Amino acid sequence: MNIPNPEGQGRLIARVINKGLCVRCGACVGLCPYFNYFDGKVVVMDLCPAGTFQCLQVCPRADYEGTSSFKGTSAGDIGECREILMARSTDEAIQKRSQYGGVVSALLIYALEKEVISSAVLTDAGDLFAPKGRIVHRRSEVLDCAGSRYSASGGLSAMNTALKKGYSRLGVVGLPCQMEALARMRLVQPDGEERADAVSLRIGLFCTWALDYPSLTAYLARQKVEGPVLKADIPPPPAETFKVQTQVGWRSFPLSDIRPMVQKGCFLCEDMTAETSDISVGTAEGRNGWNTVIARTETGSQLLKRAINEGWLETDDLPGASLDHLREAARNKRHRARQAEIDRSTQDE
């Protein structure tokens, strides 16, 4: 694509989109009318004459003087931790629908019912198309979105829609790159702070990588996986498999087949545990049906305490060995990403 304006949108297209580094977080989609998300792809609809830089400022894969301060600034390997523990939902219906222990869905339903938030931006399965962002208001809608889709969803475009409609007290669930986009949004000129203030709760998911949706669907079609994928999972090492469940049951595929479909931009991502969220949630090593939970801020800590005290979550101590492994995995991800960035800069020179 020819770029008439080398700044603002032009810089984002040249440095992120044309280089295949977009990780489909959705933060630019709907913030700017010239970007759209459809079926796993972020599409440039037209070239922006304004040069306002907002898309560039918010993009987690773009360097921008005023807003890139989150990249690589973590003091530790998993960021700020006020509390770290294992937990699961005490509600069987939530446990049944969710990916692991249902902590994310339980916290969301708790926050909606106790009016901590008025609505939330989640990711749904996307029916016949790629996963996508969805605005939800009630328990049944949270449960519709439960479970992990291992491709990126452009989910923050739904947040931009909600903000445009004047929603406030929003909850947002997202991957670390999406949490970084939210953190950058606060610094975006001219009205980022106002937009960020409308988000009252940020729940981040742990993430090692996400897959390119078109490549994944083409692969599953070649493997004759028919019908919608009901659930997907990546069991912990040493399994080395990617599992999908359809109406006819589970099938497993070697991770070596899946890894080539990882989004190119994920190799530059330093954050494994969503360090800029209020609460981060991942799997619990060696404990099926449980989550590892990190409360990072006063908001996150208060919500977690209330949900535990009122019996919505059952908890246990996180074993020292699991914490060590988590820290090591987070350090390794950061190290690999920094090396990839050095390699990329050297090639660009």
Ligand X SMILES: Cc1cc2nc3c(=O)[nH]c(=O)nc-3n(C[C@H](O)[C@H](O)[C@H](O)COP(=O)(O)OP(=O)(O)OC[C@H]3O[C@@H](n4cnc5c(N)ncnc54)[C@H](O)[C@@H]3O)c2cc1C
- Give me the residues that bind ligand SF4 (CB under 6 A), please: 12, 16-17, 22-28, 42, 58-61, 152, 175-177, 207, 209-210, 263, 265-266, 269
Our CB check for ligand X shows the closer of 155 and 265 to be 155
25 interacts with, out of ligand X, ligand SF4, none, CB within 5 to 8 A per kind: ligand SF4
The phi-psi region of residue 44 (left if phi > 0; otherwise alpha if psi is between -120 and 50; otherwise beta) is beta
The residues in 111-150 that bind ligand X, with binding defined as CB under 6 A, are 122-123, 131, 145-150
Is 276 a binding residue for ligand X by CB under 6 A? The answer is no
Alpha-helical regions (H) of 192-297: 192-197, 213-222, 255-258
**Do residues 77 and 68 lie in contact, with contact meaning Cβ atoms separated by under 8 Å?**
no
Is 217 a binding residue for ligand X by CB under 6 A? The answer is no
The residues in 171-190 that bind ligand X, with binding defined as CB under 6 A, are 173-175
Residue of 35, 37, 64, 100 that binds ligand X (CB under 6 A): 100
Distance (Å, rounded) from C-alpha 245 to C-alpha 250?
4
Residue 45 CB neighbour total at 10 angstroms: 11
**Is residue 135 within a helix (H) or strand (E), and if so which, with residue range?**
strand 132-136
CA 39, 44, 45: angle at the middle one, nearest 5?
A: 95
Distance (Å, rounded) from C-alpha 106 to C-alpha 234?
22
* Backbone torsions φ then ψ of 115, nearest 5 degrees: 60, 30
Our CB check for ligand X shows the closer of 79 and 131 to be 131
Residue of 53, 167, 206, 312 that binds ligand X (CB under 6 A): 206
Q: Closest separation between CB of residue 190 and ligand X, Å?
A: 28
CA 278, 143, 41: angle at the middle one, nearest 5?
A: 75
Q: Closest separation between CB of residue 48 and ligand SF4, Å?
A: 13
Q: Closest separation between CB of residue 122 and ligand SF4, Å?
A: 16
**Do residues 50 and 34 lie in contact, with contact meaning Cβ atoms separated by under 8 Å?**
no
Task: Provide CB contacts within 8 A for 248, sequence distance 6+.
Answer: 226, 227
Our CB check for ligand SF4 shows the closer of 22 and 112 to be 22
Is 99 a binding residue for ligand X by CB under 6 A? The answer is yes
Q: What token pair was written down for 198?
A: 């409308």
Tell me how far CA of residue 79 lies from CA of 72, 74, 147, 204, 275, in angstroms: 11, 6, 25, 12, 5
Q: Closest separation between CB of residue 120 and ligand X, Å?
A: 8
Is 105 a binding residue for ligand X by CB under 6 A? The answer is yes
Where does this chain touch ligand X (CB under 6 A) — which range of 51-59, 75-83, 201-209, 251-259? 201-209
Where does this chain touch ligand X (CB under 6 A) — which range of 203-211, 217-225, 238-246, 305-313? 203-211
Burial environment of residue 76 by CB neighbours within 10 A (0 to 12, 13 to 18, 19 or more):
exposed
Is 153 a binding residue for ligand X by CB under 6 A? The answer is yes
Our CB check for ligand SF4 shows the closer of 143 and 207 to be 207
Is 24 a binding residue for ligand X by CB under 6 A? The answer is no
Our CB check for ligand SF4 shows the closer of 88 and 184 to be 184
| Site track for ligand X across 285-314, x = CB under 6 A | ------x-----------------------
Distance (Å, rounded) from C-alpha 101 to C-alpha 96?
9
Our CB check for ligand SF4 shows the closer of 71 and 88 to be 71
Residue of 98, 200, 217, 263 that binds ligand X (CB under 6 A): 98
Distance (Å, rounded) from C-alpha 28 to C-alpha 64?
14
Longest dimension (CA), the chain: 58
Q: What token pair was written down for 203?
A: 């729940």
For ligand X, the binding residues (CB under 6 A) are 98-105, 122-123, 131, 145-150, 152-153, 155, 173-175, 205-208, 210, 281-283, 291
